[in-house]
Amino acid sequence: SLEADNSAAAFKIGKPGILHGAVMQVLQDENGQIKPSRTRAAGLNYPGRGPEISSLVNSGRVKASYAFDKEVFEAVKVMCRTEGLIPALETAHAIVYMVNHKEEFDENELVVLNYSGRGDKDLETIMRYFHES
């Protein structure tokens, strides 16, 4: 579930606030104090989303989404088994989005996913997740 104390989904559960002197979507408590984010994807583990991307999301020009750990690690497993590639956990979030929203794409439409990171940096986290689950 998307619990405010156990997530990094700032666009879904965050509110406009100020972090590092910039207005952006921020995970915060009822008093506006910054709350820590929690995700296994180090590149996404931050309580705010940059002011530029926040502005684009708030204006409707960009659509933001999120993924749960179970979905992310399943995407890692599928990509390893089917493509022989270990995606970074941040990239696995994008893979989850594409799978969960595949009906939004036309059958003949070319869809590009930026495979932006190396999963070898996340191997310890990936192995720990599968060992614990």
Give the mean pLDDT of 115-131.
90
Q: For the segment 105-121, what is each residue's pLDDT rounded down to a tens digit?
A: 999 999 999 888 789 99
Q: What is the pLDDT of residue 72?
A: 92
3-state SS of 62-87 is CCCCCCCHHHHHHHHHHHHHHHCCCE
Residues 120 and 74 in one domain: yes
Residues 14 and 52 in one domain: yes
Q: For the segment 6-19, what is each residue's pLDDT rounded down to a tens digit?
A: 566 766 777 888 88
Split into its structural domains, the chain has a count of 2
Q: Helix (H, G, I), strand (E, B), or coil: what is residue 23?
A: strand
Range of the domain at 25: 10-58
Query: Per the domain annotation, does 63 fall within a domain?
Result: no
Separation between Cα atoms, residue 118 and residue 89, nearest integer Å: 9
Residues 44 and 15 in one domain: yes
Residues 40 and 92 in one domain: no
Q: What is the pLDDT of residue 4?
A: 47
pLDDT above 70: percentage of residues in the chain: 85
Give the mean pLDDT of 75-85.
96
Residues 20 and 51 in one domain: yes
Residues 54 and 73 in one domain: no
Q: Please give the backbone phi and psi of residue 8, each rounded to the nearest 5 degrees, phi first.
A: -125, 15
Residues 47 and 76 in one domain: no
Residue 52 amino acid letter: E
Torsion angle of the four alpha carbons 128, 129, 130, 132, in this order, in degrees rounded to the nearest 10: 80
Stretch (H or E) spanning 48: strand 48-49
Stretch (H or E) spanning 19: strand 15-19
Confidence of residue 76 (pLDDT cuts 50, 70, 90): very high
Give the mean pLDDT of 75-96.
95
Query: Per the domain annotation, does 2 fall within a domain?
Result: no
| Bigger pLDDT: 7 vs 27 | 27
